[in-house]
Amino acid sequence: MGDIIDCLFIGHNEMQFEKYEEMVYSMGKRSPAYRDLSLSFIRYSDQTFTAAEAFNYFRQPEKDDLSPISLGEELSPAITYLGTYLHRRGFSFDFVNSFQEGKAELARKLQTEKIRTIGIITTLYVSVFPVLEIVSFIKKYNPQAKIIIGGPFVATQFRTAADPDTLAYFFKSTGGDIYVNSSQGEATLVNVLQAIRNGDSLWGIPNTAYFDGNEWVINPVQIEDNRLAENMVDWSLFKDKINQFLSIRTSISCPFHCSFCGFPEHAGKYQTVEVAKIAEELNAIEKLGVVESLNFIDDTFNVPPERFKEILQMMIKNDYSFGWNSHYRCQFADEETVALMKESGCEGVFLGIESGNQQILQNMNKAASVEKYREGLRLLKKYGIITYASFIIGFPGETYETVRDTVEFIEETQPDFCRTQLWYCDPITPIWTQKDHFQIKGSQFEWAHRSMDAFMTCDLIEDIFVNLKNSVWIPQYNFEFGGIFSLLHRGMNLTEIKEFLLAFNQGIRERLLRRGQREISLETAERLQKMFLQEA
């Protein structure tokens, strides 16, 4: 055995879909949560398939050279950042990037390595189920190492717990030893690791909760102010694990305060990295020689607009070999900027448009206009940049008329891809301060307000899905925005990607229109198979 590992990170747990689907189904077949999920899978040969799984199943390895989609193919940005942070402060770390795909490796590490702590990151979780599965696995192979759980999901539990007893029940039932409550948390993690290394108590360490043998101790909160510019990722620490896909960030948090979004509350004060620092990181990535597609995970990559132009001009000057994609606020689009985006290698953008009705945009505090969105989409399409427009249906104030405006917006502007998402009523978001005004009742996927409820909204979303003509619906679970580029860099062109998703969506459409039909029709199965029968 080698040296002691201060922290072993476990990356995202994309639960086996059939198991996850069963859990959500237990909430009720007609529950909004299950109806939302049901637009992301098909059934064939008595099996359940997400879009990525359908691609892997129907592709023809003997006829083409398309490699299967792997859930863990992209290195976790949370792991690269936290690992770099620990390394620079004298702590050792190791990681398993994908829990599901790395189970064998993780079991070996848990049984054979000297591990002080195990860190579970909850960035992408909206339920406790993936965490419970990881904790159970850890305790099976290494019950001695301390389990540290942190991230947005944990921070939400701290904020929304009705009382300390409710929070203590969450701690105990989840199975962690130490919980980190911070929008950032990396400095807290260092303090915890130092105390464990020294054999000291965790008493008084800010932003932590732990069990002292008799009760759960919740230490005071202290806001961290870790500067991203001072901790850019050291990619040399991960060079053997990097492939063609990579994600980086150039900012923390978001300068906007949309009333449906709790991200700024989670992430803290907005900060950006200077262009020279970004260039250093991109140069390091270029030297790796393997990255083909770079995803900027900033919530608002093109804000401030002048900084964004500087970044684009720097990328053009340095002539990087990789393409890139990002979230994009298209109300700031102008012809000069979009032309620079294309020249710098932009392949596509995620557009959080949210509504095609101006009043709903005002309710959302979006600080944007429908006309600006129209113009932004026009320019992006003119320059051949792939567009994926995301919309929220059912936000307070929504009516049948405002939904119709959104549908008309989609059909007129024709983004390459789109999705209309059921509003998720999160009590930590700003709209909650107006819950009496809008008569909001319930939370999460079970809600109602004075003009609509979640069940009515599901009906409307399914109707949009069935009748959509001028844009291709993107399945959310296990595909979403990144799936487009995953297929693009496997050799499929945009037309082929759209045809694949249209065939996949046809299977979902059949289930909606033919109640009682569980599996896709023979016609749809043949359509999917024919996608991959042409010689490469």
Q: How confident is the model at residue 3 (pLDDT cuts 50, 70, 90)?
A: confident
What the block records as the tokens of 309 is 């132009």
The predicted model gives 503-514 an average pLDDT of: 96
What is the per-residue pLDDT across 398-434, written as a single tens digit (0 to 9) for each? Answer: 999 999 999 999 999 999 999 999 999 988 899 999 9
What is the per-residue pLDDT across 283-330, written as a single tens digit (0 to 9) for each? Answer: 999 999 999 999 999 999 999 999 999 999 999 999 999 999 999 999
Pick from 434, 473, 463, 38: which is nearest to 260 by CA?
A: 434
Whether the per-residue pLDDT at 157 is higher than 60: the answer is: yes
Architecture of the domain made up of 228-491: Alpha-Beta Horseshoe (3.80)
The predicted model gives 507-512 an average pLDDT of: 96
Q: Give the fold, CATH level 3, of 5-15+72-218.
A: Rossmann fold (3.40.50)
Pick from 298, 300, 265: which is nearest to 432 by CA?
A: 265
Whether the per-residue pLDDT at 535 is higher than 70: the answer is: no
DSSP run (H or E) holding 98: strand 93-98
Q: How confident is the model at residue 62 (pLDDT cuts 50, 70, 90)?
A: low
Q: How confident is the model at residue 516 (pLDDT cuts 50, 70, 90)?
A: confident
The separation between the first and the last C-alpha atoms of the chain, rounded to the nearest angstrom, is: 47
The predicted pLDDT at position 150 comes to 95
What is the per-residue pLDDT across 195-253, written as a single tens digit (0 to 9) for each? Answer: 999 999 999 999 999 999 899 999 999 988 888 889 999 999 998 899 999 999 999 88
Q: How confident is the model at residue 536 (pLDDT cuts 50, 70, 90)?
A: very low
Q: Flag the least confident range among 111-115, 154-158, 437-441.
A: 154-158
DSSP string, 31-80: SHHHHHHGGG-EEETTEEE-HHHHHHHH--TTT--PPPP-TT-S--HHHH
The predicted pLDDT at position 534 comes to 58
In angstroms, the CA 163 to CA 362 distance is: 34
The predicted model gives 98-118 an average pLDDT of: 95
In the chain, the amino acid numbered 390 is S
User: In terms of DSSP bridges, do strands 472-473 and 271-272 run parallel, antiparallel, or are they unpaired?
Assistant: unpaired
What is the per-residue pLDDT across 472-501, written as a single tens digit (0 to 9) for each? Answer: 999 998 899 999 999 999 999 999 999 999
In angstroms, the CA 67 to CA 64 distance is: 9
The predicted pLDDT at position 369 comes to 97
The predicted pLDDT at position 1 comes to 41
What the block records as the tokens of 323 is 């393409």
In angstroms, the CA 302 to CA 296 distance is: 10
Pick from 83, 82, 148: which is nearest to 116 by CA?
A: 148
User: In terms of DSSP bridges, do strands 446-449 and 452-453 run parallel, antiparallel, or are they unpaired?
Assistant: antiparallel
What is the per-residue pLDDT across 430-463, written as a single tens digit (0 to 9) for each? Answer: 999 999 999 999 999 999 999 999 999 999 999 9
Strands (E), 394-509: 417-422, 441-443, 446-449, 452-453, 472-473
Domain residue spans of the chain: 5-15+72-218, 228-491
